[in-house]
Amino acid sequence: MLASNYVREKYSKKFIKISKSEREGFYKILFSRRDVRSHFTDKKDITLSTLIRILNAAHHAPSVGFSQPWNFIVIKDIQTREKIRNSFFKEYKKSVELLETDKKRKKIYQSLKLEGILESNINICITYDSTRFGPFIIGTTAIPETGIYSVCCAIQNLWLAARAEEVGVGWVSILSNKDLKKILSIPRHIKPIAYLCLGYVSEFVNKPDLERSRWLQRMNLKDLIFLEKWGNDLISQEKRNKVNEK
Amino acid sequence: MLASNYVREKYSKKFIKISKSEREGFYKILFSRRDVRSHFTDKKDITLSTLIRILNAAHHAPSVGFSQPWNFIVIKDIQTREKIRNSFFKEYKKSVELLETDKKRKKIYQSLKLEGILESNINICITYDSTRFGPFIIGTTAIPETGIYSVCCAIQNLWLAARAEEVGVGWVSILSNKDLKKILSIPRHIKPIAYLCLGYVSEFVNKPDLERSRWLQRMNLKDLIFLEKWGNDLISQEKRNKVNEK
């Protein structure tokens, strides 16, 4: 089950066609993935085999120079989680103070559910090891941060695989990495990248929580795409080209 | 086509079941995704609608505080790409010098194909805007780097969506971000995160290039997972628990 050989044998053909229904199923998973905080249920545990499938998806993310610089610490113990929640509370208090002059936003902010550390079934801390397979790692010589970027790609693979398994994931980033390292005995040279809460859910809501609460709006994609250079609107360029071709 | 409304309407039910075949199709896409350098073909262009579908997938990645801090610069112009390839050559030369004392690895390194800037159909530079919706962005007050992590999640969404569309993606990180900013007129406060080459391919090979060339091996997943604390092997713990239960 753990062996990547399973994966290899199954997908060893030179060119694997993706059917229309497979593509549609993929988009369904991608667009219905949510950052879960409020909807964890305690009706069902994540089994070891489901957990391994989700982590195996993370492990098959791209990594710079094939460095695979990730580790996964699975946390079940409630006392450990309580310590981590205390770190959340400490950092949360500090963040509320930053909104002192903006009473309206402060009120909305304080009404938001921002973590599901205890209500979720398990927590996973994902870390980055800059020394793995080093010192010479292909692709990191000009931009060393790419190792961290690889870990983030693994996190997104994990998140989507969890959705495919109908498991919700919530990323808690209102935390002190210093606390996290102490609580989880993480060595000095290892950097925590994400702290995730996983569990089965009562629902995957149709929009992100912060969009539903009107904290922020989803931006229009066309305003985010440029052609050739920064600031050069792609969509209007493409339209102009089409007119010129006629 | 651009509107997220399409997505919303399609997936607006409270709980969307993922079928077994959808889940299998998802894993097929995930495990057969490759970092493409050698297999781009010039037989077919990526259409605007395919490109928009791929970028829309990126735009639906999770982002800290729903900040959506990404932009996408699509590069088609060959002269621009030649400038960027010159930046690659410059950084590549520096990286070769680092292997001066390791003749064997140097030889393998020099035999590797590390970029497909000109052979691919289009290039995309993905950037991070730390000022978007700021200064107060939920979830970034304790760990400001989470904004960059969001951009990386968008990159992995893009990569997988491209695979679902049978489009290959190669990430070139042997580049100078300073050069990139100059060539693409990227403002001072914007950080380039990834430079990607996209195009249809002759094949998606069954293993990463660096694994096929025996540069490095895929690590065993079980060695990467810990339980409760760093260094505490999950798999042997779980086995022990099962024995104790009997």
Q: What is the pLDDT of residue A218?
A: 97
More confident residue, A11 or B107: B107
Structure tokens at A171: 């990323």
B200: nearest CA in chain A?
A15
In sign, the C-alpha dihedral spanning A174, A85, A171, B16 is negative
pLDDT 10s digits, B186-223: 999 999 999 999 999 999 999 999 999 999 999 999 99
Closest Cβ–Cβ partner in A2, A218, A238 for B221? A2
Say yes or no for a CB contact (<8 Å) between A174 and B139.
Answer: yes
Residues of chain A positioned with their CB less than 8 A from the CB of B159: 62, 153
User: How close B68 gets to chain A, by Cα (Å)?
Assistant: 8
Contact between A62 and B35 (Cβ < 8 Å): yes
Q: What percent of chain B has pLDDT over 90?
A: 87
A 11-50 residues with CB < 8 A to B: 11-19, 21-23, 25-33, 35, 48
Q: Looking at the partner chain, which of A139, A175, A184 has a beta carbon nearest the beta carbon of B230?
A: A184
The residue length of chain A stands at 246
Residues B109-136 pLDDT 10s: 999 999 999 999 999 999 999 999 999 9
Q: Is B164 in Cβ contact with A221 (below 8 Å)? A: no
Q: What pLDDT is recorded for position A13?
A: 58
A104 by Cβ neighbours in 10 Å (0-12 / 13-18 / 19+) ranks as: exposed
Q: Which of residues 109-148 of A touch B (CB under 8 A)?
A: 109, 112, 114, 127, 133, 136, 138-143, 145-146, 148
Check residue B238 and give its pLDDT: 76
- DSSP class per residue in B46-112: PPHHHHHHHHHHHHTS--GGG---EEEEEE--HHHHHHHHHHHHHHHHHHHHTTTT-HHHHHHHHHS
Which chain B residue lies closest to A126 (C-alpha atoms)? B225
| B190: three-class secondary structure by DSSP | strand
Tell whether the model's pLDDT for residue B13 goes beyond 70. Answer: no
Kindly provide the ipTM of the predicted complex, given to two decimals: 0.94
- pTM for the whole structure: 0.94
Instruction: Show the low-confidence residues of chain A (pLDDT under 50).
Output: 1-6
| Confidence at residue B240, expressed as pLDDT on a 0 to 100 scale | 74
Over the stretch B35-91, which tens digit does the pLDDT of each residue have? 999 999 988 999 999 999 999 999 999 999 999 999 999 999 999 999 999 999 999
Contacts with A, B 182-241, CB within 8 Å = 184-187, 190, 193-194, 202-208, 210-211, 215-216, 218-222, 224-231, 234-235, 238
Q: Which of B138, B148, B174 sits opposite A139 (nearest CB)?
A: B174
Q: Which of B25, B161, B204 sits opposite A30 (nearest CB)?
A: B161
* Residues A124-149: tens digit of each pLDDT: 999 999 999 999 999 999 999 999 99
pLDDT at B5 over 50: no
Residue B8 has pLDDT above 70, yes or no: no
Across all residues in chain B, what is the average pLDDT? 92
H-helix or E-strand spanning residue B199: strand B190-200
